Amino acid sequence: MSKNFEEFKDRIKSKEIKDLWENLPGIKKKFFDFFYKDLLEYEKPQILEFGVRHGVSTSLFLDVCNQKNGNLYSIDVQDYSYQFNDKNWRFIQSKDNDFDKVEAEIPGQFHVIFLDTIHKAEHISNIFYHYYNKLKVEGLFIIDDMSWLLYVKNAKHDHFFKEVNNHETFKKILDIYNNNQDKFDIHFNFCDTGAVKIIKKNQEPLNESKKIQSRENTFKNFLRKIYIKIKN
């Protein structure tokens, strides 16, 4: 895989984007190592990307599209149309939740949908539910930034709001999966800021999310902890 990664970097034309791939090893672990091989399995892949910014994920998706004769549609509220000049790329300046505008300019079905915009649980849930029906069976829905471990107190990037938002996102994704286990498979990657890879199993519509009924904060568990403490 390291050889493939070096070859991928060599194909990146932008020095700034190549430097990001080289200097931020967490990006390689949560993007390239996590789902690059999966992307190459699709013939003529149709990819929908929400969030461009520095162009890191965009460069990965375009690399696959150029190899497999696919198309990438990238959405961002800021104008990043200058980032790439590629026949397989179309940039659309829009909010991810401006559904009418976005859907007027994109195809009906995608092999891959990538979400990296507003990192708040309810927003991510709304976007996921709205665009999930555009995902082909065996397609990937990838959500970036769901690990809070990097931001907990006294951690490397100690940050209250990022910790809380990412942890709430993680729990929301689990709540969605809790009531849709027959609809999709799910894989988490906790490297760096983390990512989740959702694999669509069938065309069945999604159920509403269902909060997991944990026993963690029950009185019975409280008594269990006291018993263990006394015993030890």
Q: Give percent above pLDDT 90 in the chain.
A: 92
Please name which of 193, 194, 171, 197 lies closest in space to residue 184, comparing C-alpha atoms.
Answer: 197
Please name which of 99, 120, 97, 96 lies closest in space to residue 173, comparing C-alpha atoms.
Answer: 120
Please name which of 140, 144, 73 lies closest in space to residue 112, comparing C-alpha atoms.
Answer: 140
Beta pairing class for 71-76 and 195-200:
unpaired
**Cβ atoms of residues 48 and 106 within 8 Å:** yes
Q: Domain locations in the chain?
A: 2-231
pLDDT at 3: 81
pLDDT at 216: 87
pLDDT at 226: 92
Q: What residues in the chain have per-residue pLDDT under 50?
A: none
Phi-psi region of 53 (alpha: psi -120 to 50; beta: other; left: phi over 0): left
pLDDT at 232: 84
Task: Render pLDDT for 143-183 as a digit per residue (tens, 0 to 9).
Answer: 999 999 999 999 989 999 999 999 999 999 999 999 999 99
pTM equals: 0.94
Strands (E), 153-223: 184-189, 195-200
Assess if CATH 3.40.50.150 describes domain 2-231.
yes
First to last CA, the chain: 47
pLDDT at 222: 87
Task: Render pLDDT for 69-87 as a digit per residue (tens, 0 to 9).
Answer: 999 999 999 999 999 999 9
pLDDT at 1: 55
